[in-house]
Structure 1
């Protein structure tokens, strides 16, 4: 067993892809998610395919009480977490700020910012005690540039960027690495969730160019954990070749 990786939002997209990548490299996994059936299916597949150990934790990162109850109760043998990947996140709504849906705002802030904090607050003390660990926070190109109608989502990812910098400062005495990975356009459930199940709108986002795939981001996350103990990639932006930043994308036309 090489170590233990803790991944939030592991039922689909980046989270699932990262779980599969680390499992293929022989790591044991703690995976979290809201969808119990899907999480257990991922657990079963990883164990059967790679012969590793997998601990599934079913909770919503937005639920502070659940996070503060479930994580501290994991068995002691699972508490030696080598890498925490704060992946759970989402975008909802695509409108000007004066027409935004306040419930969607709450969901994004509670998931992307507060959820990351709740999970980190519970895991970091174990890393501090060992003076060892690596935290990877999944941000977005939206953390670097604000785009039209992205307002609150962009604000949450700017917060992830700021929190990553703050963690890096606060955890310096404990030799804990902190890496922020900011993916650009990636074809996962992201746009389908943002447009609330409208498959046509979701597909149109990626029309005319090849977007990132979840496996691309998983490969980058894994690479960041393979560097020597004295080396840390602090901040990394990854985009498709035809995307320059959050709002410049070149799309081929028929």
Structure 2
């Protein structure tokens, strides 16, 4: 399965959703944000090799999870910018995660200076379709949890209330904002987020929501892949990389940490 992500803004955060789209929209030259399938790499030079695309915990090859097209306004060297997230799907591990960033100026060796055409190529009529989302807990269940709740209960209820406004969201984007956690346990402190090798701090950029798991269970990744929140932190300076890919940082908060 391979499907694009649509976007909608809520306050300062931008939400991502999975929707059906023709296959040509998922090609690299269309600069897609998408879930599953194969990565539509941005720059074709300096691609991560097998060693970088292996699980840091078990050593097995990682599976492509999603990519996000996230250019930085006002940055000529990041006119095109993509983030590529991979996860381990091999039991009993299923825990390794790696994310890579690539950015290009508008004038580069791979793409035309002008934006891509909005017209489909004449040879394609293929479309990609996805399953429906499962429903979220009804509002009355959230209200019933408010009585005699612990701090952990309050954090979990706040998370559920927040996402119930748009229950089909699979991603929240807000570079420099704060993520919303599903649990009070295993949420990182500043010291837990390693600095970029360039010396700059890493800041929160986006988080993957547990609702995406509904799609993965219909895909080839299997039922053992699981999380509560995946929070991606990237270089605050989005440091220059030439045409290569640099690894950023993922913090995984498990569902088992929530009540």
Query: Quick check: TM above 0.5?
Result: no
Task: Give the structure-1-normalised TM-score.
Answer: 0.23
The structure where strand makes up a greater share of residues is: 2
The structure where helix makes up a greater share of residues is: 1
Q: Which structure has the larger Rg over C-alpha atoms?
A: 2
